[in-house]
Structure 1
Amino acid sequence: MKLAILGAGMIVKDFLIMVESIPEIELKAIIGVEQDLETMKELQTRYSIHAIYTDFDECLNNETIDTVYIALPNHLHYIFAKKALEKDKNVICEKPFTLSLEELSKLEELAEEKNVILIEAITNQYLSNYKMIQKDLSNIGDLKIIECNYSQYSSRYDQFKKGIILPAFDPKKGGGALMDINIYNIHFVIGLMGRPLSVQYLANIEHGVDTSGVLILDYGTTKVTCIGAKDSSADIRSTIQGTNGAIVVNGPTNMVRSYTKQAQTQAAEEFNYNVHEHRMYEEFKQFAKIILENNRDLARQRMQHSKLVMEVIDLALKSADLR
């Protein structure tokens, strides 16, 4: 994979710490705005990135680049993904893929037309611990209750209360607890359970944006709550309860560092199958393989999951009268 990185924020810096562990990925370029130049030069030197661009169109004309990783604020995902696809580049896009299912469907059609890979960077779907949880579900009997809580007080919330609206709390830029932090819980649940029968989002709304909320997903005999908060904190934990036992993930659903399984009559056991300490390693290792092999079938499978998540997001926003 000959990669161009679009963005120079915290997630890019975190990604670069890890990517040296994946020799299949060659860092061809980093793209940002003029005020990011100093930061990009530092990153270029530290991580041996071939080139720096402040003009995205110029970067896309570089024929040695085959893939663009979009790590920008939520509201910019669609337009920059579209530009990259139009130039026949594969696209890896950070969560949330887009701001609506309609936008994502348009990108999917364009990727099919251009015969390129389009895939969402969502860590938990690729972690070995998560894959083992999927297999272990059958060992805890009939599923009854799933509760995911990812609540983390945001320093930006203090600014928000003072009237300083940054992208994380700007509804026009895809901000809010559902799209920013609760979406990890949604991916976690959808990957286990599929499409719910109904969706309801009970949100705490301030100035038109959800600062926290409870998403309720009904699966008939299984009831699910996904809690996401940026205005308050609690123990970050997810629990899956079945008739024969429970699975508990301590920590956020984007990392799944380990999990505990407890049968009704047995002591709890902790498991950790992840192959790398960095949460992004397994997903980008898989992305490199998908792109190297041009595995369109697997990319399409991942797209169906991402579309289902966006479908749930659309329904949740509608139920809370959020736009």
Structure 2
Amino acid sequence: MRLGIVGTNWITDRMITAGRTIEGFEVTAVYSRTAERATAFAATYDIKHRFTDWQAFIVSDSYDAVYIATPNLLHAEQTMAALNAKKHVLCEKPLTLTAAEGQALFDCAKQNDVILMEAMKSTEAAAFNQLEKWLNDIGTIRRVNFHYNQYSSRYDKLKAGVVENAFRPELGNGALTDLGVYTIAPLVRLFGLPLSVSAELHRLSTGADGQGTVIAKYSEMTAVLSFSKIINSYLPSEIIGEDGILTIDKISAPAIIKKYNRQGEEIERFEHHAQPMSYEIKTFMDACQSGSIHSSKEQMSMDTLRMLEIIKREAKIHE
């Protein structure tokens, strides 16, 4: 598959590294707003076609599918343009900033007979697939604890008075959209939308949320989601049932999952060591080749966007 790149940052570096472990993956074009960045990125990855003109890029026949890894605010506009140009799209999370925008994009993909997929690497991982198979082994599930707390190097700069994109709410950035989404997507993928949601967000000086906590209530269980760009945490995430517990080493990129009985004895584990993004890339490539993608992926993306909207609307804000 010939891929065009929009967004030349660290996540794109990781995507290309992971993609090159998959047969048939090839990056043939890159778009950047500056010639210097486009040239440097193309040289690093031996990319033949480079663009600084958006319209020239979007109609080019030098690639078949586009990977979008720009600030969250730009996802909807750029994805829509690519879909209308009959390009398949793999767009970084969150797909958009509103559910209405997300639905418009999926409708556009269907109208143009192309594939649209959100780049949610965690729920495509082999370990996550195994996790789904183990859910029935731990009895009635009563509690879910998912967290992604990762201290941002850009936070030190913020405290020094330098504001980078990661803490600019006008770009759609913040702990909820950048990290919290990794706790929301697996929750709604496994259990659907909750019956009720309460949340708290801590707002930083820029207006961006630095961390937050969400309590999502279901008929028989409660989920606690926590996310932060201003602290670290190294504990695993958990799904707790009456008969056992499942642990996930890292909810944003699960590689090791363990099954425990009620007494806390480990009874089974599963682990893999592939590049975290390789699974989502393989799923996307297969979907582009077959011309279809499972409806559950659209459902998860849309439910994630709905949850984001609910949290933003209902959250208590702390300064």
State TM-score, norm by structure 2.
0.93
- Correspondence 1:132 to 2:163: no
- In structure 1, give the amino acid aligned to 2:37: D
Would the aligned equivalents of 2:30 and 2:38 in 1 still touch at CA under 8 Å?
no
Decide which of 286, 297, 319 is 2:314's aligned counterpart.
319
Would the aligned equivalents of 1:216 and 1:223 in 2 still touch at CA under 8 Å?
yes
Deviation per residue, 1:223-273 (Å, 9 max, x gap) = 0011001111222420111100101112x2121110111112572045235
- Provide structure 1 residue ranges, at least 5 long, that are not aligned to the other structure: none
In structure 2, the residue matched to 1:201 is 199
In structure 2, the residue matched to 1:220 is 219
Q: What RMSD, in angstroms, separates the aligned Cα atoms of the two structures?
A: 1.7
Aligned ranges for residues 23-102 of structure 1 at < 5 Å?
A: 23-34=23-34, 35-45=36-46, 49-102=47-100
Q: Specify the SS of the correspondent of 2:248.
A: strand
**Bigger Cα displacement from structure 2, 201-210 vs 178-187:** 201-210
- Provide structure 2 residue ranges, at least 5 long, that are not aligned to the other structure: none
Decide which of 179, 183, 195 is 2:181's aligned counterpart.
183
CA deviation after TM superposition for structure 1 residue 211, in Å: 0.4
Deviation per residue, 1:11-65 (Å, 9 max, x gap) = 11111112122122232211112141343133233xxx23111222212222242
Would the aligned equivalents of 1:214 and 1:228 in 2 still touch at CA under 8 Å?
yes
In structure 2, the residue matched to 1:309 is 304
Paired with 2:74 and 2:264, the residues of 1 have a C-alpha distance of: 49
Decide which of 267, 276, 284 is 1:287's aligned counterpart.
284
Pair 1:236–1:6, CA change in 2 (3 A): farther
Paired with 1:244 and 1:96, the residues of 2 have a C-alpha distance of: 34
Would the aligned equivalents of 1:145 and 1:242 in 2 still touch at CA under 8 Å?
yes
Paired with 2:163 and 2:199, the residues of 1 have a C-alpha distance of: 23
Paired with 1:266 and 1:224, the residues of 2 have a C-alpha distance of: 20
Q: Specify the SS of the correspondent of 1:109.
A: helix
**Bigger Cα displacement from structure 2, 15-24 vs 93-102:** 15-24
Would the aligned equivalents of 1:147 and 1:225 in 2 still touch at CA under 8 Å?
yes
Decide which of 115, 118, 128 is 1:117's aligned counterpart.
115
CA deviation after TM superposition for structure 1 residue 184, in Å: 0.6
Pair 1:101–1:266, CA change in 2 (3 A): closer
Between the two proteins, what is the percent identity of the paired residues?
28
Would the aligned equivalents of 1:150 and 1:237 in 2 still touch at CA under 8 Å?
no
**Bigger Cα displacement from structure 2, 233-242 vs 142-151:** 233-242
CA deviation after TM superposition for structure 1 residue 288, in Å: 0.6
